Amino acid sequence: MGILNVTPDSFSDGGLFLDRDAALRHAEMMMEAGADVIDIGGESTRPGADRVSEAEELDRVLPVIEAIRKRLPIAISVDTSTAAVMAAAFEFNVEIINDVRALSRPGALAACGQSEALLVLMHMQGTPSTMQDAPYYADLFGDLNQFFEKRIEACGLAGIASDRLILDPGFGFGKEAHHNFSLVAGLHRFAHHGLPMMVGLSRKRSIAGIARDVIAASVAGHLLAIQAGASIVRVHDVEPMVSAINVLRAVRECEG
């Protein structure tokens, strides 16, 4: 999954792709590099980020969704928590809604219940503006598993089949570095839900804090996550990630 932030303030690429044509060119570049999905986001969720208005988010993402749908043969994901944005995106038959708030905002469950898109439920402790203010867990895996159970149940009550759901432990969203690396090591501890896992370590602060080459380090972290059971990796740097996955696949094919 290639990241396409159409925001002025995202932590790594804010402001680079606000222009629709620039966004389209970047999406095409990621597709040619091997991305299977383009994830379009119009609301920054970096630590300390403020919420944007519904109208502003729609103005940012809809022209890009439309342009990609018309011109590129690739699946589209929309990174949003806003019901109106979800509903508008479904008019373009987007394949995935990627929600850092796990469909908890008003109207999100109802909006997604009217579609057939896959839905990413991410865990976040707190909100983007507060999530890195000394996050604490008495039981990291217990807390996240309980959260996932509740959100899966809420989706079921809203008529959303579990086979549409993907789980994301939310690296960097209300977690310190040791929480993030523990989640990579213990990703298998979410397997009992029977759902695909998505991981997004790309260029995160925990990675940058221990590596001079943040791209190589991000690729390494994602490879470890794949080996631990991740089905989707959400990345800024598609080409090196695809190259690394190709090596992993070649090795696995020789394991017999």
Confidence category of residue 199, pLDDT binned at 50, 70, 90: very high
Q: Determine what percent of the chain is predicted with pLDDT higher than 90.
A: 82
* Domain limits for position 190: 2-253
Q: What average pLDDT does this structure show over 18-44?
A: 92
Q: Please confirm, yes or no, whether 70 is among the known catalytic residues.
A: no
Give the ranges where the chain is alpha helix by DSSP (H): 20-33, 54-71, 83-90, 108-113, 140-157, 177-185, 205-208, 214-227, 238-253
Amino acid identity, position 22 = A
Tell me the per-residue pLDDT of 78-115, one tens digit each, with 9 for 90 and over: 999 999 999 999 999 999 999 999 999 999 999 999 99
The catalytic position among 151, 175, 203, 234 is 234
Confidence category of residue 210, pLDDT binned at 50, 70, 90: very high
The catalytic position among 164, 204, 212, 252 is 204
What CATH number does the domain containing 12 carry?
3.20.20.20
- 236 has pLDDT over 50: yes
Residue 45, pLDDT score = 74
What rounded mean pLDDT belongs to the chain? Answer: 92
Residue 47, pLDDT score = 64
Token pair, residue 153, equals: 């149940």
Give the ranges where 40-192 is alpha helix by DSSP (H): 54-71, 83-90, 108-113, 140-157, 177-185
DSSP secondary structure code for residue 225 in this structure: H
Count how many domains the chain has: 1
Confidence (pTM): 0.91
Q: Please confirm, yes or no, whether 234 is among the known catalytic residues.
A: yes
Distance of alpha carbon 256 from alpha carbon 251, whole angstroms: 10
Residues with Cβ within 8 Å of 45's Cβ and at least 6 positions away in sequence, in order, are 100, 128, 173
